[in-house]
Every structure is written in C-alpha cells, then in structure tokens.
Amino acid sequence: MAITGLPGGKGLVHPAPLAAAADGALMALGFIAPDATDLPTSGALLLGERARILRLRRKGAVSANGSCHLFECLDGRIAINLAREDDRELLPALLHCEPETDEAALSSLFARHYRADMLARGVELGMAIAADVPVTGVHQWFAASCRRYRAKPAHSPRVLDFSSLWAGPLAGSLLAMMGAEVVKVESLTRPDGGRLANEDFFNLLNGMKQQGTIDFQDRERLRDLVFSADIIIEASRPNALRRIGILAEQFIAQGGLWIGITGHGRLPPHDRRVAFGDDAAVEAGLVHAMKLGWDTALFAGDAIADPMTGIHAALATWHFWSQGVSALVDISLCGTMRHAMSLGLCSTEQLSHWQALAEEDGAPLYPQRLPVVTATNEMHQDVREQDGARDKSEREWISTAKWRS
C-alpha cells in the first residue's frame, strides 16, 4: 500500500489478488522442490522488497520509481517508461515536437495523438511504451518450444544467468537457494545496470551466485561457456545472442534448458518491443483495474511485473529441469502479469473489505531479507572457463553468500 495511491493520499489495495498470485507460485516452487528450505517465506515479500530498500512512495500516475508515466491520448491511455538516459531525447521524435520535459506540457502533447500511432512510433524508436487495456480471459504465463526429453537429472544444475536488473536475477537467486550452481555472467563492456542502481538490492538478487565477466566478442570462448551449462537464463531481446552466434536451438539439442525472459514475447511482432516492469504491467491490465476499482488511473506496486515474472520463471525452470525436459521457455513480463490479473478482480464490496483490513494493520507483513556476502564481488574479474569443466577449481569465479531473513 505504501507505493499505491495518490501522492499525499492514503495507500490503496489493488483489486486483483496479486500477492496471492506470487504466493501461489512460490508455494508451487516449494512443493516441487521440498528440500529447498531456504526459499523466502512469501511471494508477496518479493513483490515489495525493492521499494522497501529504496524507500519508495506512491506517486499516482507516475510509477513509484519515477520513471514510468501515464498519459491520455485522443482515444485511450498509454504508459511510457523513461528509465534510460536517452529516452527523453527520443520524445521529440515520438511526439513530432520540440524538446520538452515539463509533465504538463507532455500531457498536452500526448493528448493530440491517437494511441495506436504513439505505440507504433514508440516501438519503432525502441521505447518502452504500452497501452492501458483491460485483461480478458485466462492467460498462460509461458510457452515452451523445441521440447526434447532425457533422463531425469541426478545432479544439481549449473545455471548461467545472463540476465540483468530484476526478473531474471530473481529467478537465478531462487534457483541458487534450491541448490543450483548459478553463475552470473556479465559483458566486460556492458555490466548489469542494477550494479549502478542500488548495491543492497543488487546483492540481494545476486549475492548467492558466482560472478564473472566475459568479452562477448570472443565468440568461441562465449560458446564454450554457454555449452558448459545445463540451464541458460537470458533477458535480452530474442535475436541479441543469435547475432553473436549463440543459438538456443543448438543448446537445447544438446540437452540444455533455455529460459528466455522478454517484455512481450519472443514471436513477431512482439519480439521487437522493449519493456520494463511498470509499463509491461500496464498492458496486462494493472492500471485499468485500478481505474475500475478506485475511479482513478494509478500505478500499483513497484515494477511489479519483474518480481512476479522472476518467481514464475524459477518455477518453470525447476519444473522442466527436474522432469528431464530440454526446451526453449518463453516467459514475458506482460504475459506473466496477464496471467496474474486473469485470476480475477474482486467486487466493489470485497475491495472495500480488503482496504479496511489493510488500513487496520499498516505494519509490514514480512521481515526484509538481507544478504550476507561472504566474499568480494570483483566487477571486472574475467571469466575463465576450461573446456566446459564443471569443477569450480578450474574456474576463476568470485563470490558466494549466505542468506538470512
């Protein structure tokens, strides 16, 4: 509630049971991995822990982290995420206007355009832009292709985590808690942007992993590294690794499991779209539901599609791995949130009841997780991989950590 509602107003609950969706996925993860006793106590805890670390507050029609904005067009509402340094520089091309940063002026400019035009132009410019639409029907939260079957594994998997920011790293951290050997791999020239955002949150997601960097232009070495793993987690646009010669289909053919986290999916035309957690949630119906429930278009949660997707990605990964299935698993931020939203919206009476219960007890329901890092994370330590060897002594990996609640 602390990050949902109007600035200066009271905190509001969301009409969809999003905490229950996260709790359910985490419970399912614990069920299929009964020996994983270090998993967090609650999925709902994971949805809000970045906001607690950063001490974010509700901003109404602006996301809690301040980067995503709702604007009214001639025929509907859009969300545009200006999270990157050059996003605002693209606004003149999007709106066919002079450079402008004032929120009121931008609102006036968006109001002159049709939503479909803004979406098409924004996607072409590589911006994270989304339509505020209702959720309809029940949505599957993953798609698996290229399936191959092998014997159920007798060893814990080795996971290479190429992802960044939140959803993928969270999935990797949950797998590490379940006994997987997880290695966070970053480009020498383009490290995870999460390192620059908040060290505590970065360590929360990555402290349990071994960490290293590699030159992505060294294709032979990168390929050797990839094929030394059992599982790949990546969150780049679908063709990014393909362009440097890393093909998911080849990895799967040799028995690997490939987890691809995207904004809106791997298939055209969605494969071209950029997304972050807040804008992806808008296109899943998050803001539309707030408008229905509270008669005001408001963001809810903090980039909520990210942690929701991270939990579900870990669930899909462990399910396929433990059953001996190799596959390309497509999990999108928007698709996962659509699944959570499609569980149903509460009635007006039920929403009032939920709100009253929340207001009666404003204390945090769960203790904040804290990482205990046991070795230094050297950012530019180069990854040394010898012929796909699994023995840690043959690699120059860096840090491990233990966790406590």
pLDDT value at residue 375: 45
Q: What is the pLDDT of residue 378?
A: 44
**pLDDT score at 403:** 34
Pairing of strands 68-73, 76-81: antiparallel
pLDDT in tens, 310-340: 999 999 999 999 999 999 999 999 999 999 9
Query: Alpha helix (H) ranges present in 182-276?
Result: 194-197, 199-206, 219-226, 248-253
CATH topology for 138-270+304-344+369-404?
Rossmann fold (3.40.50)
Sequence spans of domains, the chain: 138-270+304-344+369-404
Mean of the pLDDT values across residues 3-21? 94
- Cβ proximity of 115 and 74 under 8 Å: yes
* pLDDT of 401 strictly over 50: no
Amino acid 373: pLDDT: 66
Please give the model's pTM, rounded to 2 decimal places: 0.90
Q: Are 313 and 171 in contact (CB under 8 A)?
A: yes
Residue positions counted in the chain: 405
The Cα 236–Cα 405 span in angstroms is: 31
